Amino acid sequence: MSTAEPRIPCAGCGAAVPRSDGPTHRYLGASAGCWAVFGEVLAREYSNSALFPVHRLTVDTYAVQHPGVPSRQTIQSVAVHLISLYLTLECGYRPEAATEAMRSVLRHKDQFAWLTPPASLGRLTILDVREAQGVAEHIALVRQWARSAWEAWAPHHGTVRSWAALTRSGRTD
């Protein structure tokens, strides 16, 4: 990507992304240029099995950095992806277990509420990951990016932890 091409701030993460009229996600709050970069990173991960261990973190982190506007879908998206980040980063869940927990907690999606996004969604973005050179750097950057995004949502950690508890206890109160 040429550094001379026009850039705009992504509507979600705020990164300076290429101006694009391309497609976007229907409810994530990402600009077209950012969505395209996310697609590049996903393609890299899908084409190299050594990157599979961080793919869950990539998807979760991108989603929480692009929360969109309040709607049933965005509330659910932010909730389950923050729960996955919590379970992975704080509780040591493996990606498969985090994915299963996400499925399980959806039985309680009526308990989710809109979480006002933090002013900063983290110091790293998908652009940092895209610049990774090699597998080890990609994995390290995804982990740093995920930690940065999770820490940005710190004002809501208590709520996320209570939602995550629903996956383990089956509580509905």
Confidence of residue 144 (pLDDT cuts 50, 70, 90): very high
Contact 59, 40 (CB under 8 A): no
Residue 60 lies in a domain: yes
Mean per-residue pLDDT, 144-151 = 98
Nearest by Cα to 53 from 135, 167, 171, 144: 135
Q: Is residue 64 in some structural domain?
A: yes
Q: Average pLDDT of 92-108?
A: 94
Of 166 and 113, the structure prediction assigns the larger pLDDT to 113
Which of 80, 53, 64, 78 shows the shortest CA–CA distance to 142?
53
pLDDT band, residue 96 (cuts 50/70/90): very high
CA-based nearest residue to 140, from 51, 77, 56, 27: 51
State residue 167's pLDDT score: 78
Please give the pLDDT value at position 3: 54
| Residue 57 is assigned to a structural domain of this protein | yes
Quick one: average pLDDT of 113-134?
A: 97
In a domain, 8, yes or no: no
Cα-based torsion angle of the residue sequence 130, 135, 138, 141 in order, rounded to the nearest 10 degrees = -160
Instruction: Pick 100 or 23 by higher pLDDT.
Output: 100
User: In the chain, pLDDT over 90 holds for what percent of residues?
Assistant: 87
61: left (phi over 0), alpha (psi -120 to 50) or beta: alpha
Mean pLDDT along residues 87-101: 96
∠ CA 49-53-58, nearest 5°, is 105
* Average confidence score pLDDT of the chain: 93
Any domain includes 26: no
Tokens 């869940």 -> residue: 93
pTM for this entry: 0.93
Per the structure, the complete domain to which residue 71 belongs is given by: 50-169
Residue 171 has pLDDT above 50, yes or no: no
The phi and psi torsions of 8 (rounded to 5 degrees) equal -135, 155
Residue 59 lies in a domain: yes
Q: What is the mean pLDDT of residues 144-167?
A: 96
Q: How many domains does the chain have?
A: 1
Does any domain span residue 80? yes
Question: What pLDDT was estimated at residue 170?
Answer: 43
143 within domain boundaries: yes
